[in-house]
Amino acid sequence: MNKILVTGAAGQLGTELTQKLCEIHGSEAIIASDINQNSSAKFSFCQFMVLDVMDKNSLRNAIINEKITQVYHLAAILSATAEQKPLLAWKLNIDSLLILLDLAKELKLDRVFWPSSIAVFGKESPKINTAQDAVQTANTVYGISKMAGERWCDYYYSHHNVDVRSLRFPGLIGYKAKPGGGTTDYAVDIFHKALAGQVFRSFLEKETRLPMMYMPDATKATIDLMQAPSDNITVRSSYNLTAMSFTPEEIFLELKKHFPEFKIKYQPDYRQEIASNWPQTIDDQYARNDWNWQQEYDLPEMTKDIIKNLPYWIDKI
């Protein structure tokens, strides 16, 4: 039986991915971990441990003592927050990955998952249908760390046969966790404001188009990738991935269909410059061809699902 450790499990992706993994493998096979002790309340459905991913000995002991075979390494500082704390972001995002990859080699872990991002692309990268092998010119701390991380993943696979797999996530939208400091998190916060009857203040301009994905599709893609046969995986840096692309104005207008009095004000800040350098649409044919990636949600379907479920979760997050 696989025994799976999820690091950074209390984050936006980790919260939902951990639940899905429990549904598939059973709660006894999953351990959620986070550096924050208070996060334990989120994981009544599985084992939880406090874990500092920067402490190699603690991580090694956890893997050995719990007989871990797979790790989903989600601990990270996201794009907007990373610009405020660049050295800390670099240290956490890269050093923790290297620690894990080295332990995966030493302890012969079955598989490792690590998320990359469209932030690896920059202003010199194509903006429309950005290809898998498009030039990467990241100019943010987060993007630079993801660029480096992708090369380390490929290196440990090529040189040490570590089966590490990765996805370049677009902006992720969910309702089971609070926004986590990403540039695309406006698309999470806007739902909270709409349900609360408040004016939404967008830190991006109205026509800023970005690739996005609803969290159920993100967890589905992660698990589909990790369950794919090794021979099917042709990309060992990180797979391009996408589901939909929209602007702040488009998601606002979609919400207006459900909340006719909802209002928005555009107040761009430093995050606008970050977003302006990212792709508008993504070409993810490698993922579709190699392991049959297919999304399930578009903007209207996602909007309806969040409006239905978010009121129940607001007091829980």
Catalytic residues: 142
Q: Which residues pair with 130 in a beta bridge?
A: 282
By DSSP bridging, strand 244-246 and strand 210-214 are antiparallel
Q: Give the distance, in angstroms, between the CA of residue 157 and the centroid of all CA atoms in the same chain.
A: 21
136: amino acid identity, one letter? Q
Q: How far apart are CA 27 and CA 245, in angstroms?
A: 34
* DSSP-assigned states of every residue in 146-181: HHHHHHHHHHHHHHH---EEEEEE-EEE-SSS---S
By DSSP bridging, strand 164-169 and strand 4-7 are unpaired
Q: Which helix (H) or strand (E) holds 213?
A: strand 210-214
The single residue listed with the structure tokens 């012969």 is 108
